[in-house]
């Protein structure tokens, strides 16, 4: 029994080192939280279904050691919902550079694993509101996160419900464009990461930062998530970006604040994307 415990602890610790190395984050706490939050506690009883490309593979046993690698684990295989790729989330969470005391809105929290990591990174003093539209998953997240004193799970639609004023908005569902309310919820200096999918051939992850002069954005990697209900359809009269235009986007603007101009790479309802950095203004 002692040896088995040592083996799983070794696997978890090595997994955490891999996550931190892939994230290339300067924050040593990232490795600590990946090592301290047991992934198996958020995935239900094993054996588990692991997704490899288009294949589904069942782990050979219910030993949680199988979970401590960069694999997707199904939460609801019929709906295509999984726990997410750890390397990707480690990179995204590292880019957000969360700090103690910050307020997080997690959209598409699933069963709560990455919510738990964020909750530890903003402790002490910070808090996470986790939104999950699927009732079953919201119930699991609420149960899985009940020992986290700084997490509130909301079974609801984060597209239509107001977000709390947030230092971080962490989005785990693909959107054609971020709703204006998400941008408005960002506090000065606030950051948002989301999967941008304005077209089938434009699957990008964007990091958005609220600056004094607007919302700076950085399309930093390819990504694909299941669509966000209520925010994945293109609005009428949209200017849809090509892959090249999308990758050149450097700022996001609310149409009510500034009408689209010649720098627009995409115009999607009440928000538009520009090739000009927010720090110098669209016309600067």
Least trusted range by pLDDT, from 74-78, 146-150, 165-169, 203-207: 74-78
For the chain, the straight-line distance linking the first and the last C-alpha, in angstroms and rounded, comes to: 65
pLDDT in tens, 141-190: 999 999 999 999 999 999 999 999 999 999 999 999 999 999 999 999 99
pLDDT recorded at residue 80: 82
pLDDT recorded at residue 76: 86
Q: How confident is the model at residue 3 (pLDDT cuts 50, 70, 90)?
A: low
Mean pLDDT of 76-101: 93
Mean pLDDT of 37-60: 93
Q: 84-88: list long-range contacts, CB under 8 Å, 24+ apart.
A: 84/110, 84/113, 84/114, 84/172, 86/15, 86/19, 86/34, 86/39, 87/18, 87/19, 87/22, 88/223
Comparing 236 with 216, which gets the higher pLDDT?
216
Q: How confident is the model at residue 52 (pLDDT cuts 50, 70, 90)?
A: confident
């Amino acid at each position: 029994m002692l040896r088995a415990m040592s083996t799983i602890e070794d696997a978890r610790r090595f997994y955490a080192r891999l996550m931190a190395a892939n994230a290339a984050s300067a924050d040593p706490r990232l490795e600590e939280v990946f090592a301290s939050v047991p992934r198996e506690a958020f995935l239900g009883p094993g054996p588990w279904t692991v997704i490899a490309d288009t294949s589904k593979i069942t782990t050979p046993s219910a030993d949680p050691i199988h979970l401590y690698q960069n694999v997707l684990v199904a939460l609801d295989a019929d709906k295509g919902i999984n726990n997410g790729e750890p390397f990707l989330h480690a990179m995204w969470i590292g880019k957000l550079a969360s700090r103690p005391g910050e307020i997080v809105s997690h959209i598409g929290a699933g069963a709560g694993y990455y919510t738990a990591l964020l909750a530890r990174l903003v402790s002490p003093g910070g808090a996470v509101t986790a939104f999950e539209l699927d009732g079953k998953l919201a119930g699991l997240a609420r149960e899985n996160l009940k020992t986290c004193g700084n997490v509130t799970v909301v079974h609801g639609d984060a597209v239509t419900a107001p977000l709390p004023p947030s230092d971080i908005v962490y989005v785990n569902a693909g959107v054609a464009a971020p709703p204006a309310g998400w941008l408005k919820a960002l506090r000065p200096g606030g950051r948002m990461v989301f999967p941008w999918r304005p077209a089938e051939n434009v699957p990008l992850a964007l990091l958005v930062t609220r600056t004094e002069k607007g919302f700076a954005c950085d399309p930093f990697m390819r990504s694909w998530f299941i669509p966000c209900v209520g925010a994945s359809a293109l609005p009428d009269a949209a200017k849809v970006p090509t892959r090249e235009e999308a990758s050149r986007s450097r700022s996001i603007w609310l149409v009510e604040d500034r009408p689209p101009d010649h720098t627009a790479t995409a115009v999607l309802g009440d928000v538009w994307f520009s090739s000009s950095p927010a720090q110098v203004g669209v016309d600067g």
